Chain A
Amino acid sequence: MSLLTIEGVWKHYHGQSVLRGIDLEVAPHEVVCLIGASGSGKSTLLRCVNLLETIDDGAIYLDDTEITDVRADADDVRRRIGMVFQAYNLFPHMTVLDNITLAPRKVHGVRPEEAEARARELLDRFGLADKAGEYPDRLSGGQQQRVAVIRAVATNPRLLLLDEVTSALDPTLVTEVLGVIRELKETGMTMILATHEMGFARDIADAVCFLEGGVLLESGPPEQIFSAPEHPRTQAFLQRVLEARRM
């Protein structure tokens, strides 16, 4: 049984098709990496899963209930899904601790002491224990993104969506964020990552999907996609990535 099923999803923006019939299944505890050039539809797909965008056709199921049903309660769906954004999107007027405990307290009805204890435990685990009282703009990009990940998992979501979470970071800060994601995988978190970090995708993913022009061209285990891609477009994309790295 799969945790998330995406069936023939289409999405248009201003007359252009951004997603063209995407099919994808994600099993519990699985980590799926979406790769592809900018504008290939990776981010849009994640935003559709979190209902931040409405789809134009197809269906998405979470735990076998259709979440794209127009009668579905979007807030109820989002309670079960966590999301981390490229630009962190922390709330600048709240401390790190308040950023993390806001949703548990206001949405999930967790008592404040309990929410704070859980937040401090997570901060401690990811090496940010001393930052609980700081405001986001006093933190480095890597620290902010780690806080954003903690904020997203503080409510124990069924599924975590990560949208190019290292793209805005200084190369020296990328590893600390990737470390957090690696640790989440070990706890059995189901994740979908849109990423440009090919090495990391190869290392952490159970399945890699290559998107181009809104079409899921090829998917499979990372060894296959990275070592023996079948589709010529996948080969061309990986070739370009390889050349860019050599420069």
Chain B
Amino acid sequence: MSEEEKKVVAQEATNNPTAGEVSVNSLAYTTGQEVVKAEKKEKRHMGLKAKRILGNTVVYIVLVIMSIIWLAPFVCIVLQSFRCESTWMTGYIIPHKWGFDNYVRLFKNTKFPRWFLNTTIISIATAALQLIIILCMSYTLSRLRFKGRKALMNAMLVLGLFPGILGMIILYRILADLNLTQQNAIPGLILVYTASSGMGYYVSKGFFDTLPKSLDEAARVDGANRAQVLFKVILPLSKPIVIYTLLTSFMGPWGDFVFARYVSFGTSDGMNVAVGLQNMLGSAGSINANYTTFCAGGVVVAIPITILFMCLQKYYVEGVTGGAVKG
């Protein structure tokens, strides 16, 4: 049956509702109906496919534009860091002369290595301390029941809503009294970054809440105390959240500028990379002289974090979503 014939049969069938009475007609009726149905289905299918392709195209175009906007500054910084002409405003993006001059200058002529070391010490110490505090805090709030538990959690939630900047001046006063500023900025900053870390318990508590309580109970009956339960049973099961906590608490001090500048005020030995690099661009003249070196510094600072993220990205994503799905 050709396409035309089929249509004719279908037309006849729809025009003849009593077709069921005669066997030949009824046969025609069913085939005709099926043909109509199949055609409709195909049309609908085509429509859906086209719609999907169109939708995807739009989405991808938007995403590509967003990515370009997002990546442009980073690409620029990397390009500037390899530029040998050392001026600020050039009017072009791609360097005319390529080289490692800026990196050499960064490590030879500035205190960058010192700042880098400072930042590393602060970040590692903070990450380690925060990890311990946050995990213990989250485990406690997830598993132990004590008076004032709810009140404590609510209080921390409310306190967390205030910007940390509000306490800056008083914190500086306290640190100055403890003689933990300027030359001693490193321990001072570690103290500042670690002090309120217990308040960041939400994500890991959410994760611990999803681990069955009977695991704790089994371990306790088996002879473990609370600390052993945490370290031998819960933490091995919480790899994603441990890594997530470690990463976030490492990144905070790594990129911090405001507190670091306040606390290390006036001495270049106590500065971290962010403050040190910003200092290089302190005056109008120095911007012109140091701009490309500054860009090189920016790239060097990004390298460790980028490597960390590339290695641990899988766990990081699991950690962020871990509150909802059991890990």
B is bound to A: no
Q: Taking beta carbons and an 8 Å cutoff, which residues of A are in contact with B? A: none
